[in-house]
Amino acid sequence: MQIHHIHSRVTETEADAIAVGVFEDGPLGEAAAAVDGALGGAIRNLQERKEFTGRCYEMAPLLVSVGRARQVLLVGLGKRDKFDAGSAFRTASAAARHLAGKPRAAVALFLDEGWPAEWTENGVCGAITGCEGQDLYRAEKSRHPFGTLAWSSGDNETIVKGEAIAKGRILGDAMNLTRRLVNEPADEIYPETLAERAAEMAGRNGIEVDIWDQPRLEAERCGALLAVAKGSSRPPRIVVLRYHGAAKGAPTLAIVGKGVTFDSGGLSLKTPEGMFTMKCDKAGASTMVGAMQAIAQLKLPINVLGIAGLVENMTGPAAMKLGDVLRARNGKTIEVHNTDAEGRLVLADLLSLVVEWKVAKIVDLATLTGACVVALGTEVAGVMTNNQPWCDAVTAAARRQGEPIWQLPMYPEIYDELIKSEVADMKNVGDGRWGGAITAAKLLEQFVGNTPWAHIDIAGPAFRDKPKPWSDAGASGQFVRTLVQLARDWQP
């Protein structure tokens, strides 16, 4: 899909279909007013009759001609003072998603009337993600990327906006890469193939890549990750990506991703309902891969180490068993009480490694616990930390990108004892199911030492069972933008 910036008035557009933003309150914007004028007051008339109010994500397709366009989509932008970077992403995505329901040669979006450049990035990014759905294997696609997408922004800062559009495209492509990796099923994407996909991405973008196979993982004593892999016929991998945007030896940001390519639960088997969407359990790793691509394409002046632990959690004859005691990379022992609490085992070895490699700060992403979804619902990620300023930086990055996140507490005097084991240094589940998102984070905390660390539990937002106005069901790509923002804000 070609994307370019236009200055022309909405009534002079060359596009076949256009989308025009309308706020719920206040006067019509420039484009909406021009369309209203060309249509003899039609928009204000619709608003007066409450047929179209401008509520956020409300859509009104008008089969009328304006300029060359034969279709005008009115897009609700909601209340003016509530509009932010997240709204820019979601409204543009909703508009594109609607128009992408049919093949179209040329589409123009008139949503941005002097938005800050960051919102334009988000809007373009949203438009790109809105054109792609989860129908990877359908003969009859439900979304069709446009031949060309024209982005209008009512002002004449051509250079600034041109760059914002190029950056938005990078973000959108990165989110779609992440979404595709998550949406592809477990027989297509398993540890070896996900490692290959990551290596291909790295090759295209000048990122250094190192893949550890099973013998290497054994030699490196990644006992916790290897234990999870034992039940599967698919051998595990660790992928290490190194992007050098700053001086050699400059402080490094580590992005750590859970890459369980399928989570059956292992011998603590999931129910069919619980298992059905578990191809999504590689979302942490896929988010890391997408973010690394964007960080490299944006040429950010930072050193980033991306690492993913890739395993399949299955029930094969050699599967790890309840009561097994594992020895993680850093020497700590873990007693297995539930083989379905496998993500924390994978992350334990990854976190040990990046701490050994003396990275400056760590952020990990994992579809780690159903408990986090119970606590915060499906759209909000949980964040837990050993270092409040670093957590604040992560939260600020997420807020700036409009990706909802909420911190959960880590009180040592309350939660530490819940993962104590009678036979090993710790057990892999909490005492009872209460506070499950936090007891999982408590295990991770055992592997990060004093390195500032923030853990983002994306079990809810990574994958949608149902569509939203701005997104098809399936993988969301959420938190790719937050990671990129974090790299942009980097102050070691």
Q: Which residues bind ligand BES (CB under 6 A)?
A: 263, 280-281, 338, 340-343, 367-371, 373, 429, 436, 459
User: Measured from the CB of residue 351, what is the shortest distance to ligand BES in angstroms?
Assistant: 16
Catalytic residue at 97?
A: no
Nearest residue to ligand BES on Cβ basis: 370
Please select the residue that binds Zn ion; options are 112, 132, 184, 281, rule is CB under 5 A. 281
Residue 433: other Cβ atoms inside 10 A = 12
User: Measured from the CB of residue 258, what is the shortest distance to Mn ion in angstroms?
Assistant: 10
Q: With CB under 5 A as the contact rule, which of the stretches 4-12, 243-251, 324-332, 335-343 interacts with Zn ion?
A: 335-343
The entry of Zn ion, Mn ion, ligand BES, none that residue 1 binds, CB within 5 to 8 Å by partner kind: none
Catalytic residue at 270?
A: yes
Which amino acid, one-letter code, is at 320?
A: M
The entry of Mn ion, Zn ion, ligand BES, none that residue 429 binds, CB within 5 to 8 Å by partner kind: ligand BES
Residue 253 near residue 274 (C-beta atoms within 8 A): no
**Which own/partner contact pairs does 1-4 have at CB distance under 8 Å and 24+ positions apart?**
1/128, 1/131, 1/145, 1/146, 1/147, 1/148, 1/149, 2/147, 2/148, 2/149, 3/124, 3/127, 3/128, 3/148, 3/149, 3/150, 3/151, 3/165, 3/169, 4/148, 4/149, 4/150, 4/151, 4/165
134/475 Cα distance (integer angstroms)? 8
What phi and psi values does residue 333 have, to the nearest 5 degrees? -105, 145
User: Measured from the CB of residue 456, what is the shortest distance to Mn ion in angstroms?
Assistant: 17
Task: Name which of 120 and 339 has its Cβ closer to Mn ion.
Answer: 339
Structure-block tokens of residue 119: 């919102």
Which residue among the candidates 270, 327, 399, 468 is catalytic per the annotation? 270
Please select the residue that binds Zn ion; options are 263, 335, 349, 445, rule is CB under 5 A. 263
Q: 334-366 as b/e, with b when 16 or more CB fall inside 10 Å?
A: bbbbebbbbbbbbbbbbbbbbbeeebebbbbbb
* Count, residues near Mn ion per rule CB under 5 A: 3
Nearest residue to Zn ion on Cβ basis: 263
107/110 Cα distance (integer angstroms)? 10
User: Measured from the CB of residue 347, what is the shortest distance to Mn ion in angstroms?
Assistant: 12
User: Measured from the CB of residue 317, what is the shortest distance to Mn ion in angstroms?
Assistant: 20
Task: Name which of 72 and 260 has its Cβ closer to ligand BES.
Answer: 260
The reply to whether 58 sits near Zn ion by the rule CB under 5 A is no
User: Residue 341's closest CA among 365, 370, 305, 315?
Assistant: 370
Q: How many residues does the chain have?
A: 492
Which residue among the candidates 344, 427, 442, 481 is catalytic per the annotation? 344
Which amino acid, one-letter code, is at 312?
A: E
Please select the residue that binds Mn ion; options are 58, 132, 263, 364, rule is CB under 5 A. 263
Residues that bind Mn ion (CB under 5 A): 263, 340, 342
Residues near Zn ion (CB under 5 A): 260, 263, 281, 343
Point out the residues that are catalytic. Answer: 270, 344
